[in-house]
Each structure stands twice: as C-alpha cells, then as structure tokens.
Amino acid sequence: MHDIDYGAISNNAIFFKALIADKKLCCVVKSDAYGHNLAKTCAVLSNIADCFAVGNVQEAKICLSFGKDILILLPLDKADTVWAISNNCILTIDSLHTLFIVEKCAKLLNKQARVHIKINSGMHRLGLNFGQLEQFVLSLDPSISVEGVYSHFYIKDEAICDNQLTEFLRCANYLQGQFDYPLTRHIANTWATAKSPKYHLDMVRVGLGIYGYGVEGLVTAKSVWGRVVALRNLKKGECVGYDGAFVADKDCRIAIVDTGYSSGLARVLTGTKLSVGGKLCPIVGNVCMSMCFVDVTDAQVGIGDRAYLLCKENNLSNDCVIIYEMLCNLQ
C-alpha cells in the first residue's frame, strides 16, 4: 500500500525551476511517473514543467491533455510513430534506421515530424555518434523538423561528465551549423542540474529529483508500507520462514508483514530495515511472495501497525536494488 504527496512533487519541481533561471524544465514522467501515477503527477506539474518526457505512446496519450510539449524518449514502431506525429509529439531520432521510419510516416501523413536528435556521448545505449552525423544530415528531408539535440549522463563524476559534455557539444555545434534557427540542447539529469549551471544549456531533464531523491533539500513523495499481521516470539535456535534462512541467535520477537516479492520487495533486500513502531527494524529470513519477517525485538509493535518500506525517514535501497527500482516496483 502507498501514499503519494503530490505537494512534495510540485515543490521539488519548483526547487529545480529556481536553479535553472530562464532555462526550460523537462520533467521525466516515464514508467508511470516512476511509480507515482502519471496522470496525477502531470496534473500537479502542468503549471511548472515546460515539457514532459515519456517512454512510449501509451504514456504520451495520458500526458496529451496537459498542453505541454511531449518528448518520447524511445524509438517507436510504425503505428506508434504515426500516432505521435499526428498528435504533435516530439520524437527521438537515435539512428538512421529510426530516421527512415519517421520520414516514411511523416510523408504518409503529409505532416512534418517534430524530432530531437539523440547523441551517444559515451553511454553507448542509444544515439548517433559524431561520425554518423554527416550521413544523418544528408538523409534529412523536409518531412523532418529538427527542434533539438540531447544526450544522457551515465555517472555522477564531474570529470567524466565534462568529457561527455565536450563530446555532446561537438555534435550539437555541428548540427546547429546545419540549421538557421536555434536547436534546444539538453543533457543534464537531476545530479547535473544541481551540480552546476554549465550543464543546464537550454533545457534540463529531471526525473528522480522530481520525486524527492538525488539532491539534498528535496522531499520524498512516495510512502510505501505493509501491515503487521502477526507476531511471533522465537527462542534462541528457532528458525522462521522458508529454508530456515533465519535462525535466532537469541530470544527475539518477529513481526510478520503482509508485503513480499509480489508487491516488489526483492529478496535481496533481506537485512535492510523497515520503519515500524518508530524504529528501524531489519528484515530477516527469506522474503515470501506476500509476506516478510521483521525483527522487532527492540520496538513496541502491535498487529495492524504499519511497517514502512519507503517514507521520508526510510529508504530501503542499497547496492543491489536502486531507488529507481523501488519507486517503480513497490506497491
């Protein structure tokens, strides 16, 4: 079960808007707004964001009524490309293959396709390399309206990001030289937006920070909890759960919480702590499909109490399960 503080989402967006002065703010709302409900998130951001970034057409359809530019980050198939062009969405061109699909669909509709060009500045996931840009420009025809160019930082390391920025600007400057109007350039994520104005360029794309993570001073928006459905007193040497994975090394009290891996609580999170009874208490034993075990020996806990997996005071993420996964997966 979860609660979402949409006021926190709004305030976090305002925080970033203040950092970037007159630059544009693109709020990344893909994957159901990182598990925060896409429609409700867009509603509270509609007077703050300049643009919404989504992953696919299904998400774009939900954002359409809010009257903002919609940037679709992933390449699409023909049918979705036709819909996106028809509805004035901005498409990502990440390769010559994608360019040919978009051109074909635009000609079919007799309508210009709005696009931003994705540059591979070092992450090697999606995007054109500098050496491909000449062929890209030669392949353009009037069915394509190039409005922007962007890339993506892959690490929180200023030296590496500076190298990426240099490569991105090399590509962006080359492309800008092919057009007699300014292109919108964007590369900054949450970390880079807060780190330095040198990364802001013309627009920033903030995802995680909108939901309260990644920068000091933000407020987390999502709280996720289960309920204590049973309590067990274990004696030293007794075990709990599948495979006897937890054996008590002393007398202890275990709370059974109605949250398991079917609700997004990964088994590898055993050993991390839930907030229950006003204290942080460790998950023990193997997480079950719809239950987990929490050592509440040092807490005052009753049946029906909430055990928080995520809240303003607690964040279960670790080296194995990052906060992005938890926001998207925890129900």
Give me the pLDDT at residue 290, please.
Answer: 96
Structural domain of 234: 222-329
Residue 156: pLDDT over 80: yes
pTM over 0.85: yes
Question: 100: pLDDT confidence band, cut at 50, 70 and 90?
Answer: very high
- Tell whether 40 and 187 lie within a shared domain: yes
- For the CA atoms of 53, 190, 179, 108, the dihedral, rounded to the nearest 10 degrees, stands at -20
Give me the pLDDT at residue 315, please.
Answer: 82
- Tell whether 181 and 229 lie within a shared domain: no
Residue 192: pLDDT over 90: yes
Q: Which two tokens stand for residue 56?
A: 């696919």
With a pLDDT cut of 70, the percent of the chain lying above it is: 100
Residue 142 lies in a domain: yes
Give me the pLDDT at residue 320, please.
Answer: 74
φ, ψ for residue 43 (rounded to 5)? -60, -45
- Tell whether 184 and 235 lie within a shared domain: no
Give me the pLDDT at residue 318, please.
Answer: 76
- Tell whether 226 and 138 lie within a shared domain: no
Give me the pLDDT at residue 316, please.
Answer: 80
One-letter identity of residue 306: R
3 state SS of 73: coil
- Tell whether 123 and 47 lie within a shared domain: yes
Q: How does pLDDT run across 4-63, given as a tens digit for each residue?
A: 999 999 999 999 999 999 999 999 999 999 999 999 999 999 999 999 999 999 999 999
Cβ proximity of 26 and 52 under 8 Å: yes
Residue 249 maps to which CATH number?
Answer: 2.40.37.10
Residue 255 lies in a domain: yes
φ, ψ for residue 279 (rounded to 5)? -130, 160
Q: How does pLDDT run across 163-172, given as a tens digit for each residue?
A: 999 999 999 9
Give me the pLDDT at residue 331, please.
Answer: 74
- Tell whether 188 and 102 lie within a shared domain: yes
